[in-house]
């Protein structure tokens, strides 16, 4: 069976105190506790501000080498369009100590990023900058979810199509699961129908999947198991600790299908929170 890694988008949400993190835990201890339960993490802080090598090494040490890290590219690459080849190389140089623990990098474009000639040209430049690094790309505008784009991804080894689960029927694409390389990537955003009215990502992701909803996701993953060797799944709904409960539910369903998923590490008779 393929290897499945499951984690969350970011790890600093204090809504997880009392579930994933024990009461009284310091923010500096979060990643250690996180690694007791999960085996990958999507770092979103790198989207908002440049991240340094010292910070990354600190994360690696706090996780005791038990996590794979997906880093989200800075907004200069995806929203501001001010990044350059030099910016990209500087970022890649910072990642050097993490090579054995790196999952695909994430490039997430906003809904406003349509498939225009100018945007296609820009994307082509960005892809060249990261041609030697697995790069997962999330397109929120439906214009990218078309056959020519799929064809290009299928013949470009370092590009990974980001599968997404968005709220239904609000103008966001909900393309069926597809693995274009042997490494697949899946971001679960929930089904908050007020997505466009919310002012923060935290509020947009205020949604807990039902048992039936996660059952359909597990079915989908199982039906495509021959198409990938490893799959990274990142729940974005850390608000109100929804992700904590949903990850347990999904792991149970995947285990029933024969997938091996990480269980909480045990010390003595209790779970290490």
Q: What is the pLDDT of residues 136-160, one digit of tens each?
A: 999 999 999 999 999 999 999 999 9
| Sign (positive or negative) of CA dihedral 247, 248, 253, 256 | positive
Strand order in the sheet with 105-108: 3-8, 230-235, 183-188, 159-165, 135-138, 105-108
**CA geometry: angle 210, 215, 220, nearest 5 deg:** 130
Which pair of tokens denotes residue 172?
């966001």
Q: What is the pLDDT of residues 1-21, one digit of tens each?
A: 999 999 999 999 999 999 999
What do you get for the CA distance between the two ends of the chain, in Å? 28
Give the domain ranges of the chain.
3-271
How many angstroms separate the CA atoms of 102 and 235, rounded? 18
Question: What local confidence, expressed as pLDDT, does residue 267 receive?
Answer: 53
Average pLDDT of span 182-192:
98
How many angstroms separate the CA atoms of 158 and 160, rounded? 7
Q: What is the pLDDT of residues 49-74, one digit of tens each?
A: 999 999 999 999 999 999 999 999 99
Which pair of tokens denotes residue 241?
């600790």
Which pair of tokens denotes residue 111?
């809904």
Average pLDDT of span 77-92:
97
Average pLDDT of span 205-227:
98
What value does the mean pLDDT of the chain take?
95
Query: Which helix (H) or strand (E) covers residue 118, if one does?
Result: helix 117-129
Question: What local confidence, expressed as pLDDT, does residue 97 receive?
Answer: 84
Question: What local confidence, expressed as pLDDT, does residue 256 receive?
Answer: 97
Q: Is 122 left (phi over 0), alpha (psi -120 to 50) or beta?
A: alpha
Question: What local confidence, expressed as pLDDT, does residue 99 receive?
Answer: 87
**pLDDT above 90 (res 217):** yes
**pLDDT above 80 (res 273):** no
Q: What is the DSSP letter of 153?
A: H
Selecting from 3.40.50.800, 3.20.20.410, 3.40.50.1400, 3.30.499.10, what CATH number does the domain 3-271 have?
3.20.20.410
Average pLDDT of span 121-139:
97
Which pair of tokens denotes residue 92?
């890649």
| Sign (positive or negative) of CA dihedral 115, 106, 249, 20 | negative
Which pair of tokens denotes residue 1?
């069976």
Question: What local confidence, expressed as pLDDT, does residue 271 receive?
Answer: 42
Q: What is the pLDDT of residues 219-268, one digit of tens each?
A: 999 999 999 999 999 999 999 999 999 999 999 999 999 999 999 885 53
Question: What local confidence, expressed as pLDDT, does residue 108 receive?
Answer: 98
Which pair of tokens denotes residue 245?
């409960």
**pLDDT above 80 (res 32):** yes
Average pLDDT of span 82-91:
96
Question: What local confidence, expressed as pLDDT, does residue 129 receive?
Answer: 97
CA distances from 80 to 75, 111, 115, 162, 216 (A): 6, 13, 16, 21, 36
Question: What local confidence, expressed as pLDDT, does residue 266 receive?
Answer: 54
Q: Is 272 left (phi over 0), alpha (psi -120 to 50) or beta?
A: beta
Question: What local confidence, expressed as pLDDT, does residue 265 receive?
Answer: 80
Q: What does residue 231 show for φ and ψ, rounded to 5 degrees?
A: -135, 130
């Amino acid at each position: 069976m393929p290897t499945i890694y499951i984690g969350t988008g970011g790890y600093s949400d204090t809504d997880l105190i009392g579930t994933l993190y024990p009461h009284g835990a310091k923010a500096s201890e979060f990643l250690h506790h996180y690694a007791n339960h999960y085996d990958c993490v999507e770092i979103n802080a790198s989207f908002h501000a440049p991240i340094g090598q010292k910070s990354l090494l600190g994360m690696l040490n706090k996780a005791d080498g038990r996590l794979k890290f997906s880093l989200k590219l800075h907004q200069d690459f995806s929203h501001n369009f001010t990044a350059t080849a030099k910016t990209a190389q500087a970022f890649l140089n910072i990642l050097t100590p993490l090579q054995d623990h790196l999952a695909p990098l994430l490039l997430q474009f906003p809904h406003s990023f349509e498939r225009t000639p100018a945007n296609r040209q820009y994307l082509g430049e960005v892809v060249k900058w990261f041609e030697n690094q697995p790069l997962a790309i999330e397109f929120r505008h439906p214009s990218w979810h078309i056959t020519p784009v799929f064809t290009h991804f299928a013949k470009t080894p370092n590009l990974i199509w980001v599968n997404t689960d968005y709220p239904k029927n609000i103008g966001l694409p909900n393309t069926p699961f597809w693995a274009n390389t042997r490494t697949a990537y899946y971001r679960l955003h929930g089904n908050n129908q007020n997505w466009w009215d919310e002012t923060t990502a935290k509020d947009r992701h205020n949604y807990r999947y039902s048992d039936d909803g996660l059952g359909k996701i597990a079915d989908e993953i199982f039906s495509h198991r021959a198409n990938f060797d490893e799959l990274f799944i990142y729940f974005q709904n850390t608000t109100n600790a929804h992700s904590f409960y949903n990850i347990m539910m999904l792991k149970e369903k995947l285990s029933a299908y024969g997938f091996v998923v990480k269980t909480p590490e045990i010390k003595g008779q209790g779970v290490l929170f």
